[in-house]
Structure 1
Amino acid sequence: MTQLKLPDIAAQHQEQALSLHWVGMCGIALPVQFDGRSTAAKADAGVNLIDGSSRGIHMSRLYLALESLANQPLTPLAIRQLLADFMSSHEGLSSAAYLRLSFEHLLKRPALVSPLAGWKSYDVTVDARIQNEMFHVELLVSVPYSSTCPCSAALARQLIQQQFQASFSQQQINKASVLEWLGSAQGILATPHSQRSTAKIQVRLRSNQTVLPITELIDCVEASLGTAVQTAVKRADEQAFALANGQNLMFCEDAARRLHNAVKQLEWSTAFRLRVEHAESLHAHDAVATSQWQWDVSCEA
């Protein structure tokens, strides 16, 4: 029996010729090797379509090429080679290639005081592209932290002062009575409000970067803010966390400025943009601040 040749619909010409900026697939399940372990990722892969007379691209070629990332450590070099494979498999059709990988990065974090430790998960996105014969890689990390409102701290201190004045207006003040008052609910009758907050940092790496400094970027963010959320804790750790919050009062503007100055010092950062979100416990809306450095339209995929 004669086997019929399968039709190649994508090779058939369309009625209207038009080039396209990006064509590909999103949400492809893919294991990636990073930091010595395999991690489940989602991949978006695509190329541009400069040949407007072509019906479409060869998506199966992109899909099959992604398998190379499952068999080697995730590095800028591995990503660059993958993008080059995307383009070589679409020679004459495409002049640019794109890849986005999204996954969770697990780090074991020690408690502040006790010997306990626990795992924290950070959302990570790696954006890469070859465009105009230039290779670009950007890291986007999302880091949770705690933020205590400076305004509420000042208002709480004022109420405590007023309560102190009312409690001791008619009696002699001595150290023992003040200590007892400070440890009572009557004394510290007001506390500042805090909220779980999120810092999202997107950094463009140097073109000759050999590793993906994901952990280093997360460490930089947490160190600059000083109030990273905790994992396993004892009461001593919780007390240390309360102290850290009290010594790191910040509006969203303060957090954004701290992060801007810290990330700017990273030697492998050539451009960045950041966004901090304070999920208000006072209001039903969030407080947000953004900043950027050397980030312009050329940084956009």
Structure 2
Amino acid sequence: MTALMLPDIAAQPHGQDQPRLDFVGMRQIALPVLLDGKPLDCRVDAGVSLDDPGARGIHMSRLYLALEALEQQELSLPAVQAVLARFLDSHEGLSRQAHLNLRGELLLKRPALVSPLAGWKAYPLALNTRLDGHGFHVELQLTLGYSSTCPCSAALARQLIQQQFVADFADKKLDHADILAWIGSSSGILATPHSQRSEARLQLRLDPDLQRLPVRQLLDGAEAALGTALQTAVKRADEQAFALANGQNLMFCEDAARRLHQCLREQDGLLGFRLEVVHAESLHAHDAVARSDWNWHRGRSR
């Protein structure tokens, strides 16, 4: 029996010209890759534009199969660009623009501040890329958590402690041992500033000529600039060191945004960025937010 040719409905032309489509493809494709030598369980969006006004559709299976080139290897910009080029090659005459977006969580083992303990921390990230007639475009999104202690709250707490000190020692001769005991008592240090878990969201336009993704470098730099990165496994000595770090890094959301802005301006390989910090207030039922950007809109053609 002669094998019948399987119908290819997507390849059949339209009877009349149709509008151009910016993106046709797939979302949430599972793809395992490596980043900084660590496994990254990715979800991928892959697609191309449909520019041929007479074509009914694209060849989605060709996009899916092209992703195999990224499996189980170090994720790099040259590798991503090669896959995007394959998207376009496999849709010659149909598409002039290719898209590949990856999302996942990078797990990094972070040491405690003092003790020999260490634990894993997850950093959500997204890599959004595009290849078109204007070149290769890359945006990296990173999210990291930190602690922020309110400077105003700290000042108000110090004032209450001063007032209590005056009240407790107004008619007493100052004695070193008594003062030391007072400082260590709850009646002496009767007020504490409020802190909150906070989050920084970074959108970074990368130089497309970078050979490796500087994710670890960017995360380490941002956490060092803030000074109060969230911890994993801790002992009491680590908790005390964390309290010290918070006391030495009092931050409004404005302070955190400015620290990150300065840090990112000093990073190599960035063409522009936009950042947002969110302090989930422990005093209020709302968040405090600050945003900043540098060179973000320049060169961001569609």
Q: Which residue of 2 aligns with 1:261?
A: 262
CA distance, structure 1, for counterparts of residue 83 and residue 299 of structure 2: 22
- Which residue identity lines up with residue 5 of structure 2 in the other structure? K
SS at match of 2:276: strand
User: Contact between 2:114 and 2:237, CA under 8 Å: does it hold in 1?
Assistant: yes
Aligned length in residues: 301
Instruction: Name whichever of 198-207 and 143-152 sits farther off.
Output: 198-207
Q: Which residue of 2 aligns with 1:242?
A: 243
SS at match of 2:271: strand
Q: Which residue of 1 aligns with 2:7?
A: 7
Q: Which residue of 2 aligns with 1:74?
A: 75
User: Contact between 1:163 and 1:187, CA under 8 Å: does it hold in 2?
Assistant: yes
| Residue identity (%) | 60
CA distance, structure 2, for counterparts of residue 119 and residue 278 of structure 1: 23
Q: Which residue of 1 aligns with 2:112?
A: 111
Report the alpha carbon displacement of residue 97 of structure 1 after superposing the two structures with TM: 0.7
- Which residue identity lines up with residue 12 of structure 2 in the other structure? Q
CA distance, structure 2, for counterparts of residue 71 and residue 187 of structure 1: 58
How is 1:224-239 mapped onto 2 (pairs within 5 angstroms)? 224-239=225-240
Instruction: Give unmatched runs, 5+ long, in structure 2.
Output: none
User: Alignment RMSD, CA only?
Assistant: 1.5
Distance 1:300 1:196, change over 3 A: farther
Q: Which residue of 2 aligns with 1:97?
A: 98
User: Contact between 1:205 and 1:269, CA under 8 Å: does it hold in 2?
Assistant: yes
CA distance, structure 2, for counterparts of residue 176 and residue 38 of structure 1: 55
Report the alpha carbon displacement of residue 208 of structure 1 after superposing the two structures with TM: 1.5
User: Contact between 1:272 and 1:292, CA under 8 Å: does it hold in 2?
Assistant: yes
Q: Which residue of 2 aligns with 1:221?
A: 222
SS at match of 2:71: helix
User: Contact between 2:36 and 2:216, CA under 8 Å: does it hold in 1?
Assistant: no
CA distance, structure 2, for counterparts of residue 72 and residue 292 of structure 1: 33
- Which residue identity lines up with residue 7 of structure 1 in the other structure? P
User: Contact between 2:38 and 2:106, CA under 8 Å: does it hold in 1?
Assistant: no
How is 1:31-42 mapped onto 2 (pairs within 5 angstroms)? 31-42=32-43
Report the alpha carbon displacement of residue 37 of structure 1 after superposing the two structures with TM: 3.6
- Which residue identity lines up with residue 188 of structure 2 in the other structure? G
Please give the TM-score of this superposition, normalised by the length of structure 1: 0.96
Please give the TM-score of this superposition, normalised by the length of structure 2: 0.96
User: Contact between 1:205 and 1:270, CA under 8 Å: does it hold in 2?
Assistant: yes
User: Contact between 1:20 and 1:52, CA under 8 Å: does it hold in 2?
Assistant: no
Structure 2 residue 154 is matched with structure 1 residue 134: no
Deviation per CA, 1:180-211: give whole Å up to 9, x if none: 11111101111011111111112122121100
CA distance, structure 2, for counterparts of residue 144 and residue 93 of structure 1: 43
Q: Which residue of 1 aligns with 2:157?
A: 156
CA distance, structure 2, for counterparts of residue 257 and residue 161 of structure 1: 31
SS at match of 2:233: coil
CA distance, structure 1, for counterparts of residue 298 and residue 21 of structure 2: 19
Q: Which residue of 2 aligns with 1:188?
A: 189
User: Contact between 1:41 and 1:103, CA under 8 Å: does it hold in 2?
Assistant: yes
Report the alpha carbon displacement of residue 288 of structure 1 after superposing the two structures with TM: 0.9
Structure 2 residue 267 is matched with structure 1 residue 286: no
Deviation per CA, 1:114-144: give whole Å up to 9, x if none: 1111111111111111122401222211111
SS at match of 2:124: strand
Q: Which residue of 2 aligns with 1:178?
A: 179
Report the alpha carbon displacement of residue 16 of structure 1 after superposing the two structures with TM: 5.6
CA distance, structure 2, for counterparts of residue 33 and residue 13 of structure 1: 40
User: Contact between 1:18 and 1:53, CA under 8 Å: does it hold in 2?
Assistant: no
Q: Which residue of 2 aligns with 1:47?
A: 48
